[in-house]
Amino acid sequence: MVAPVKSPGHVAAPGIGGVGESAARPDGTLKVAGEFAYASDLWIDGMLWGATLRSPHPRALIRAIDIGPALALPGVRAVLTHEDVPGRAAFGVDGVEDQPVLASGQVRHQGEPVAIVAADHPETARRALELIGVRYEVLEPITDARAVIADPERLKVQDRGGVTRYQPVRVGDVDAARERADVVVSSEFEVGIQDQAFLGPEAGLAIPSEDGGVDLYVSTQWIHNDLKQIAPCLGLPEEKIHMTLAGVGGAFGGREDLSMQIHAAMLALRTGRPVKMSYNRYESFFGHVHRHPALMRYEYGAASDGRLLYADVEIVLDGGAYTSSSLNVVGNAASLGVGPYEIPNIRIDAYGVYTNNPPCGAMRGFGAVQACFAYESMMDRLGEACGLGPVEIRRRNAVSQGSRLATGQVIESPAPLAPMLSRLETMPMPPELDASDPRNLPGGVSQATRGEGVVRGVGYGVGLKNICFSEGFDDLATARVRLEVIGGEATALVHTAAAEVGQGLVTIQAQIARTELGVQRVTIAPADTGVGDAGSSSASRQSYMSGGAVKAACEAVRADLLDLARRSLPEAAHVAGGKIVAASGAVLAAVEDVLGDTVIEHTREYHHRATERMDPVTGQGRSHTQLALCVHRAVVDVDVDLGLVKVVELAAVQDVGRILNRQALEGQIHGGSAQGLGLAVMEEILVTDGLVRNPSFTDYLIPTILDMPPMRLDILEYPDPEAPYGLRGAGEPPTLSSTPAIVAAIRDATGRPLTRVPVRPEHVI
């Protein structure tokens, strides 16, 4: 097999840091210098370029496809449609295979792939797309999610019908509690469609292999789940498909679903040539699923002292035309629908629905983000109605270790929400506005104000996120660790299929190996299907799961190493600093001298505690493995005349169980908070009649350095005894709580109700 240029190789992890140290990223310098090879940089001699013809309509019947003129274009090597799919016609990320490889008979969302082309040059491939004649019979798109719930039998975008999943949660007696409530508050809320907006668009390279299979280099979040979906569609056994992770430029959930993988493989198998596909920014907006938009109705009742008596909630999540991750997104929204508060009576009805709107699936926070905006807005309203401040109303109702969630699940590990809020409240406030520098003002150098109309506001937000997969899923992780002497130095090779998507797992894996094996030189092998499943780089789970697997494999290697040492050094007890040491701490021998030519290698699987499905009628069940909390305080300056917002500061307190790498962790909290800020004030895919109106970074705005403020962080370490090193997943929780904190701060400054995110200037004035 000839490997492509710019494909991943072994990565030597720099530095000497073990667990707990801020070891530097091995790929950091390359990324900053612009030299890191992303999937879009993949190259091999003789490769063809693939391109995708997509539906311009959100809903239409396909009456005919004429590929003749495209095939006749010189330089075109293949034009394929649904008729050319070698195996199963559809796939799906979560086991429901309803996403067509290429549309057959009907298209159900704008941008749905209809045909694919391979050509000698990318421009030729694009011209060929224009020559494919597709005769559509356009149908009126189904775009009203609530209408689908009201009439699921009629408003079907596909045979399976209107509702993806309905998940109720029932606790106590809401109607009786309503009678007793001194204070009742209610509101409707809406969350727009957020996009992952990763900077590296979907890309990959498929190379036909000699055995009739295919080698795939792709940027993805979960190699083995890709493989499970790709193989049946190609009609190939999994062994004939070898997958390697190419450089990933961000993911945030948007790479859980397949994009170009099957298409590139089909074109490579048909032409016998390597085929590269790389979306541009416009196509990327149609090439992956987004965050579900949500329509929510909330009613809370409380006693006059602010203690919650009941919650009555409806959450409607629009998943678009195909199932994708909707089943689990609905599960999260339902189970975490009222957040980390003790409420004795709960009625939640959570729905996922199919429409012809843009397809939605996994995105950082996954169902919990949408509910969090609503329940935190409700806590502010309730506090106001009870005459309590935003911190006090939350503290009074906060869960703690031993509390029950809405699902009845008991929180078994520390959940110090009330103390976290108190710490947040006492953190110093940022200085007063300095209007002399326009960059401090709402609007920045656009100079919309010099201080006129600027009002400061403060808001709080709390978020609760499940870590790892839930509801009975055994999302195991596998690691292979090999210890041998290379060039006179003991070297550990860590091999997993876990996707490094920018979060820093590649760094953490090396730190764990150094700590567990007591050696400094660690190499990380490229993630590929040459080792067992690692599970997805999502659900904040890889430090926990692949970290746990690397730790377990290292422990097995260490045990063998010590056994080997004890043959000549009976008192050998530990490995540290590259030496075999006795229990007394006395150095007995160098690891290299003990190892000699011996190679010690072990592979271990790691599983988290089993979970259960939510009861389909009551929503009860121990559905989550681990839960994580983050709390935010936002300080904003709002130009109340123009509706422009400058977030002055975000302060956060997060419990992470154990800090493995503070620098990487702070990056995750900063990034998660920034993504929550984006949802609060700017990020939205605008859709009219199923058509996306802003598929570009010109009009889909993400925060810049002038939008994202400095952060004050207070990171707590309350260990979870079930987790490796006591750690708690950290990537998602800050994405939940920063959004409601910022919106609460804007409400504080303006007095506007602001029931929809992102908040736009016209909502504020």
Partner 1 sequence: MTGTGEEMEFMRPATWADALAAKAEHPGALPIQGGTDVMVEINFDVRRPEALLDLNRVAELTEWDTSGGRLRVGAGVPYARLIRELGDRLPGLAQAARTVGSPQIRNRGSVGGNLGAASPAGDSHPPLLAGDAVVEAESAARGVRMIPAAEFYLGVKRSALEPDELIRAFWSAPASGPQYFSKIGTRNAMVIAVCSFALALHPEERRVGTGVGSAAPTPRRAPAAEAFASAELDWEGRGPLPDAASRRFGELVADAAAPIDDVRGTAGYRRHALAVMARRTLAWAWNDHRAATPERRAS
Query: How many CB atoms within 10 Å of residue 596?
Result: 9
Instruction: Name which of 22 and 694 has its Cβ closer to partner 1.
Output: 694
Are 377 and 189 spatial neighbours (Cβ–Cβ below 8 Å)?
yes
Instruction: Name which of 292 and 646 has its Cβ closer to partner 1.
Output: 646
Task: Please state, in angstroms and rounded to a whole number, the distance separating the CA atoms of residues 394 and 460.
Answer: 9
- Closest C-alpha among 12, 1, 99 to residue 524: 12
Instruction: Name which of 208 and 443 has its Cβ closer to partner 1.
Output: 443
- For 764, counting Cβ atoms within 10 Å of its Cβ (0-12 exposed, 13-18 middle, 19+ buried), the class is buried
Cβ 49 to partner 1 shortest distance, Å:
10
Instruction: Name which of 584 and 688 has its Cβ closer to partner 1.
Output: 688
- Range 647-669 burial, b when 16+ CB lie within 10 A, else e: bbbbbbbbbbbbbbbebbbbbbb
Instruction: Name which of 87 and 122 has its Cβ closer to partner 1.
Output: 122
Give every CB contact of residue 3 below 8 A, 6+ residues apart in sequence.
Answer: none
Cβ 50 to partner 1 shortest distance, Å:
15
Sign of CA dihedral 10, 544, 223, 630: negative
Cβ 320 to partner 1 shortest distance, Å:
20
Cβ 682 to partner 1 shortest distance, Å:
5
Cβ 748 to partner 1 shortest distance, Å:
20
3-state secondary structure (DSSP) of residue 35:
coil
Instruction: Name which of 281 and 574 has its Cβ closer to partner 1.
Output: 281
Instruction: Name which of 79 and 594 has its Cβ closer to partner 1.
Output: 79
Cβ 218 to partner 1 shortest distance, Å:
23
Instruction: Name which of 121 and 160 has its Cβ closer to partner 1.
Output: 121
Q: Evaluate the omega torsion of the peptide bond into residue 758 and state whether it is cis, within 30 degrees of 0.
A: yes
Q: Which two tokens stand for residue 468?
A: 């790892």
Cβ 117 to partner 1 shortest distance, Å:
12
Task: Please state, in angstroms and rounded to a whole number, the distance separating the CA atoms of residues 117 and 127.
Answer: 10
Query: How many CB atoms within 10 Å of residue 6?
Result: 18
Task: Please state, in angstroms and rounded to a whole number, the distance separating the CA atoms of residues 268 and 206.
Answer: 6
Cβ 317 to partner 1 shortest distance, Å:
24
Cβ 126 to partner 1 shortest distance, Å:
7
Task: Please state, in angstroms and rounded to a whole number, the distance separating the CA atoms of residues 647 and 458.
Answer: 10
Query: How many CB atoms within 10 Å of residue 305?
Result: 11
Task: Tell the residue number behind the tokens 């629009």, with chain if given.
Answer: 318
Are 588 and 594 spatial neighbours (Cβ–Cβ below 8 Å)?
no
Instruction: Name which of 28 and 75 has its Cβ closer to partner 1.
Output: 75
DSSP per-residue letters across 483-529? EEEETTEEEEEEE--B--SSSSHHHHHHHHHHHHH--SEEEEPPPBT
Distance, C-alpha 296 to centroid of its chain: 22
Cβ 760 to partner 1 shortest distance, Å:
7
Cβ 8 to partner 1 shortest distance, Å:
27
Distance, C-alpha 410 to centroid of its chain: 25
Give every CB contact of residue 727 below 8 A, 6+ residues apart in sequence.
Answer: 543, 544, 547, 656, 657, 658, 660, 719, 720
Cβ 127 to partner 1 shortest distance, Å:
6
User: 666 — alpha (psi -120 to 50), left (phi > 0) or beta?
Assistant: alpha
Are 452 and 641 spatial neighbours (Cβ–Cβ below 8 Å)?
yes
Cβ 686 to partner 1 shortest distance, Å:
5
Instruction: Name which of 419 and 453 has its Cβ closer to partner 1.
Output: 453
Q: Which residues bind partner 1 (CB under 8 A)?
A: 73-76, 119-121, 123-124, 126-127, 280, 282, 439, 442-450, 452-453, 641-644, 646, 681-682, 686, 693-694, 696, 698-699, 701, 703-707, 760-762, 765
Are 744 and 459 spatial neighbours (Cβ–Cβ below 8 Å)?
yes
Instruction: Name which of 303 and 765 has its Cβ closer to partner 1.
Output: 765
Instruction: Name which of 387 and 751 has its Cβ closer to partner 1.
Output: 751
Instruction: Name which of 468 and 681 has its Cβ closer to partner 1.
Output: 681
Cβ 759 to partner 1 shortest distance, Å:
10
Instruction: Name which of 28 and 761 has its Cβ closer to partner 1.
Output: 761
- Closest C-alpha among 139, 125, 398 to residue 275: 125
Task: Give how far Cα 431 sits from Cα of 147, 425, 633, Å.
Answer: 49, 16, 15
Cβ 393 to partner 1 shortest distance, Å:
31
- Closest C-alpha among 330, 360, 407 to residue 167: 330
DSSP per-residue letters across 448-482? S-SSTTEEEEEEEEEEEEEES--TT----EEEEEE
Instruction: Name which of 326 and 755 has its Cβ closer to partner 1.
Output: 755
